[in-house]
Amino acid sequence: MNQRPAGILATSQSPRDVRPQDYDRAAPISERLKYLINYAVLAPSTHNTQPWLFRVNGDSVDILADRSRALPVIDPEDRGLLISCGAASGTLSTALEAVGLIHNLSFLPDPSEPDLVARIAVVGEIALETDWMGTLNAIRSRKTVRNGFQDRLLRPSDMQFIEERTVSGEASVRLIDSVQDEVDVLRAIGDAETERLTDKHYVRENASWTHPLRNRSRDGIPELANRTASIQEIWSPGNLLENKMGSISRVAVVVSPSNRPLNWLRSGFEMSIILIEAGKRGLNAAIIIHPLQIQEIRLRIEAILKTDWTAQVLLRLGFAERAPLTPRRALVDVMLHPGFSR
């Protein structure tokens, strides 16, 4: 007999099957949190490693970093891993807000448990947001741009939401204004990629998460999703220079006042909010962080931005060409039981 409350997904189902209309307001909070974790895991993560675990305890959820999914060559300090966990936290928080679950979010709440990266505690409930389904659907349809941008011009108003976002003290997203600055950032990314491709350890680790056999797994990047455009093409300044009518994409940079784990979590959080807001407007983004691992490239980009904050993530936003979605692990693979720690 099925013991689950109506509308709650089985923990073995693909989170990609989650549907807003299945949200059951009558279910206990802990069940609803499990349902909403299906949205959290649709967050972007470096190489789709999905380096997170969740622990639901009554009315609260712990998000833990799963360091067994680290990328030691590409991401030696786990910066990308924590940005990914920050993105999962931001996505979960946005989903909770959409369904009217008032909550407190604290990053790194317990110094004795460094892998406990965030705790979200539900403290009350109000009405569903008017466009709650739109928000949940934007989380579902968000995808990293891999096959390039449509030849569709952006209007200045398409990007206003980035400028209007009030920033937290730990991270913010800056839109690059001038075409010349954008070209300079894109050239820096291209230079970093050229340098990285000469590092066989980097190439090998990269390949191990984009291997053709990944088509059968629930993590990593299936070859299909990565086939048509290389990183150099996606991040090429060509589109900017050729299209005299305006821009089909805009570059934004997530920056933070210092360069510590809390800033990485916050950067991922802010990035996820921007990506979901972009999704509501039909926009998607290419995401890249590894050029910023190269100090010379990072300093070049910070100089272009005229900032003394640290550049954490590079985004290129526009209307994406169609591309297959990447897979996700089922909840059964990412849920810990209360009292069970690793």
Ligand X SMILES: Cc1cc2nc3c(=O)[nH]c(=O)nc-3n(C[C@H](O)[C@H](O)[C@H](O)COP(=O)(O)O)c2cc1C
Binding site for ligand X (CB under 6 A): 44-48, 80, 83-84, 87, 143-144, 221, 231, 287-290, 326
Q: How many residues does the chain have?
A: 342
**Is residue 191 classed exposed, middle or buried when 0-12, 13-18 and 19+ CB atoms within 10 A define those classes?**
middle
Indicate the residue among 38 and 326 with the shorter CB distance to ligand X: 326
Shorter beta-carbon distance to ligand X: residue 101 or 117: 117
Closer residue to ligand X (CB): 49 or 60? 49
Distances (CA, A) of 225 to 48, 207, 327: 11, 14, 10
How far apart (Å, rounded) are the C-alpha atoms in residues 85 and 74?
17
Q: Cβ 318 to ligand X, closest distance in Å? A: 15
- Taking the complex as a whole, the smallest distance from the CB of residue 100 to ligand X amounts, in Å, to 26
| Nearest distance, CB of residue 65 and ligand X, angstroms | 13
CB nearer ligand X, residue 248 or residue 275: 275
Say if strands 101-107 and 52-57 run parallel, antiparallel, or are unpaired. unpaired
DSSP classification of residue 327: P
Q: In what order do the strands lie in the sheet with 172-175?
A: 172-175, 249-256, 310-318, 284-288
In the numeric block, the tokens 């839109």 are attached to: 175
**Integer Cα distance of 218 and 236 in angstroms:** 30
Q: Which lies closer to ligand X via its Cβ, residue 80 or residue 318?
A: 80
Q: How far is the CB of 226 from ligand X (least distance, A)?
A: 7
Q: How far is the CB of 289 from ligand X (least distance, A)?
A: 4
Question: Which pair of tokens denotes residue 111?
Answer: 């110094």
From the CB of 332, what's the least distance to ligand X, in Å?
A: 20
Integer angstrom CA distances of residue 248 from 159, 164, 271, 285: 12, 21, 20, 12
**Residue with Cβ nearer ligand X (84 or 263):** 84
Closest chain position to ligand X (CB): 44
Nearer to ligand X, 48 or 135 (CB): 48
Q: Nearest distance from residue 331's CB to ligand X, in Å?
A: 16
